[in-house]
């Protein structure tokens, strides 16, 4: 059956925030494709997630060259779905991709050289079956490549019309400031910084958000649920089938054990607010004035719906924010 987008998708439930001082707005909640859209996943479920996300007002789909697994397959699979089901909605969508992590063998398959970044973008566009992406990011700083070269590659991508905006990700404050100034000098201002940010990981507050605010750059938070720690998954132990239970490279049992008391206390605050811990954690990231949008992942429509509950989250009182800070400092 042909997909027909919900006619009420812009009915006001989703807010759209201006990205820094640019003219671009992003939805409060964006959909990330890091997991759940690769060849190991059920593409019917992936398709249903994308449909429901767009129907809920999520207009931003975030990729990287190496998303899958296997690497690249998230773009390939989503690209086919986008072509089949969303071609008439391309101008309603913000599609982003990144280059920086390992993608292919040899000396040109990762980091930040001009050779790697522009080749990676061409590959991403082929997989996505698109002429351009809206945002192209350098995914991480490269200690061995001059910053001018990496930023120059972003500028070239924009000047060639293969990307509309340039972005950076995982850059510390001082280096981000340098990158922002270089891009401005090149005539392709930095639009946005994608950074890890959650209740349990607030590193961006130590200088980076000041830089972004001063320079008028947007910020989109990834891992706002701290790899699942800020959900009800680990409140009563570590399930064997969970990410921590499998001792994945992304979340270890020790990390959960070190944070579980704080997580349980945060869950009590969420209960008092009448919402889930996940909804509260997502909503909390958006209380920071520098944060434009927060990125979620979803392995099912049901999980997506739970994350969308953050849109109904009540405003935080000063007392609640103080209590949350006290828990996190404890």
Task: Give the per-residue pLDDT at 330.
Answer: 81
Q: What is the mean pLDDT of residues 82-105?
A: 98
> Would you state the structure tokens that stand for residue 168, as one six-digit string?
């950076």
CA distance 294 to 318: 22
Task: Give the per-residue pLDDT at 248.
Answer: 60
| Residues 295 and 222: beta-carbon distance below 8 Å | yes
pLDDT reading at 237 higher than 70:
no
> Would you state the structure tokens that stand for residue 156, as one six-digit string?
């070239």
242 pLDDT tier (thresholds 50, 70, 90):
low
Q: Residues of the chain with pLDDT > 70: what percent? A: 96
> Would you state the structure tokens that stand for residue 42, as one six-digit string?
């059920």
Task: Give the per-residue pLDDT at 138.
Answer: 98
Task: Give the per-residue pLDDT at 278.
Answer: 97
Strands (E), the chain: 16-18, 25-27, 29-32, 60-62, 94-99, 133-138, 163-169, 190-196, 218-222, 293-296
pLDDT reading at 32 higher than 60:
yes
Looking only at the bridges linking them, the beta strands covering 16-18 and 25-27 are antiparallel
pLDDT reading at 312 higher than 60:
yes
> Would you state the structure tokens that stand for residue 254, as one six-digit string?
């020790």
Cβ within 8 Å of residue 288, ≥6 positions away: 197, 205, 209, 219
Task: Give the per-residue pLDDT at 255.
Answer: 80
Residue 318 Cα distances to 73, 315, 325, angstroms: 44, 10, 11
Q: Residues of the chain with pLDDT > 90: what percent? A: 89
Kindly give the interhelix angle for 277-285 and 301-308, rounded to the nearest 10 degrees. 60
Task: Give the per-residue pLDDT at 251.
Answer: 72
pLDDT per residue over 44-54, tens digit each?
999 999 999 99
pLDDT per residue over 17-26, tens digit each?
999 999 999 9
pLDDT reading at 39 higher than 70:
yes
Sketch the domain layout of the chain as residue ranges.
24-196
> Residue 147, exposed/middle/buried by CB under 10 A (0-12, 13-18, 19+)?
middle
Average pLDDT score, the chain:
95
Residue listed under structure tokens 């293969």 = 162
Q: Exposed e or buried b for every residue in 39-75, given b needs 16+ CB within 10 A?
A: eebeeeebbbbbbbbbebbbbbbbbbbbbbeebbbbb
pLDDT per residue over 183-204, tens digit each?
999 999 999 999 999 999 999 9
Topology, domain 24-196: TIM Barrel (3.20.20)
Task: Give the per-residue pLDDT at 315.
Answer: 97
The gap from C-alpha 235 to its chain's centroid, in whole angstroms, comes to 25
CA distance 217 to 240: 41
Q: In terms of pLDDT, which residue wins out, 85 or 260?
A: 85
Count of beta carbons in the 10 Å neighbourhood of residue 118: 19
CA distance 88 to 280: 34
pLDDT per residue over 106-164, tens digit each?
999 999 999 999 999 999 999 999 999 999 999 999 999 999 999 999 999 999 999 99
Collapsing DSSP to helix, strand or coil, 196 comes out as: strand
| Residues 271 and 279: beta-carbon distance below 8 Å | no
CA distance 113 to 153: 8
Q: Locate all alpha helices (DSSP H) within 43-139, ordered by sequence.
A: 43-55, 73-85, 114-128
Task: Give the per-residue pLDDT at 236.
Answer: 78
CA distance 223 to 321: 20
Task: Give the per-residue pLDDT at 238.
Answer: 66
258 pLDDT tier (thresholds 50, 70, 90):
confident
253 pLDDT tier (thresholds 50, 70, 90):
confident
Q: Is the pTM of this model over 0.85?
A: yes
Task: Give the per-residue pLDDT at 254.
Answer: 78
């Amino acid at each position: 059956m042909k997909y027909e987008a919900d006619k009420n998708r812009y009915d006001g439930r989703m807010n759209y925030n201006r990205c820094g001082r640019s003219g671009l707005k992003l939805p409060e909640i964006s959909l990330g494709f890091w997991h759940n859209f690769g060849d190991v996943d059920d593409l019917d479920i992936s398709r249903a997630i994308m449909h429901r996300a767009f129907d809920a007002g999520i207009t931003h789909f975030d990729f990287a060259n190496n998303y899958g697994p296997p690497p690249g397959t998230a773009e390939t699979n989503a690209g086919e779905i986008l072509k089949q089901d969303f071609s008439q909605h391309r101008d309603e969508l913000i599609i982003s991709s990144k280059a920086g992590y390992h993608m292919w063998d040899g000396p040109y398959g990762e980091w930040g050289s001009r050779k790697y970044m522009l080749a990676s973008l061409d590959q991403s566009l082929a997989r996505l079956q698109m002429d351009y992406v809206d945002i192209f990011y350098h995914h991480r700083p490269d200690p061995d490549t001059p910053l001018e070269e990496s930023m120059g590659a972003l500028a070239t991508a924009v000047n060639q019309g293969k990307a509309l905006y340039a972005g950076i990700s995982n850059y510390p404050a001082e280096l981000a400031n340098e990158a922002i100034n270089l891009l401005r000098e090149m005539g392709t201002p930095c639009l946005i910084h994608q950074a890890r940010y959650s209740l349990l990981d607030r590193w961006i507050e130590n200088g980076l958000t000041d830089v972004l605010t001063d320079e008028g750059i947007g910020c989109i938070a990834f891992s706002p649920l701290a790899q699942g720690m800020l959900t009800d998954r680990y409140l009563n132990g570590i399930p064997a089938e969970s990410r921590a239970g499998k001792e994945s490279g992304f979340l270890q049992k020790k990390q959960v054990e070190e944070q579980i008391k704080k997580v349980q206390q945060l869950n009590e605050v969420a209960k008092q607010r009448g919402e889930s811990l996940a909804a509260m954690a997502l909503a909390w990231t958006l209380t920071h004035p520098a944060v434009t949008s927060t990125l979620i992942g979803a392995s099912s429509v049901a999980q997506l719906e739970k994350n969308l509950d953050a849109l109904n989250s009540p405003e935080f009182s000063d007392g609640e924010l103080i209590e949350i800070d006290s828990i996190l400092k404890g």
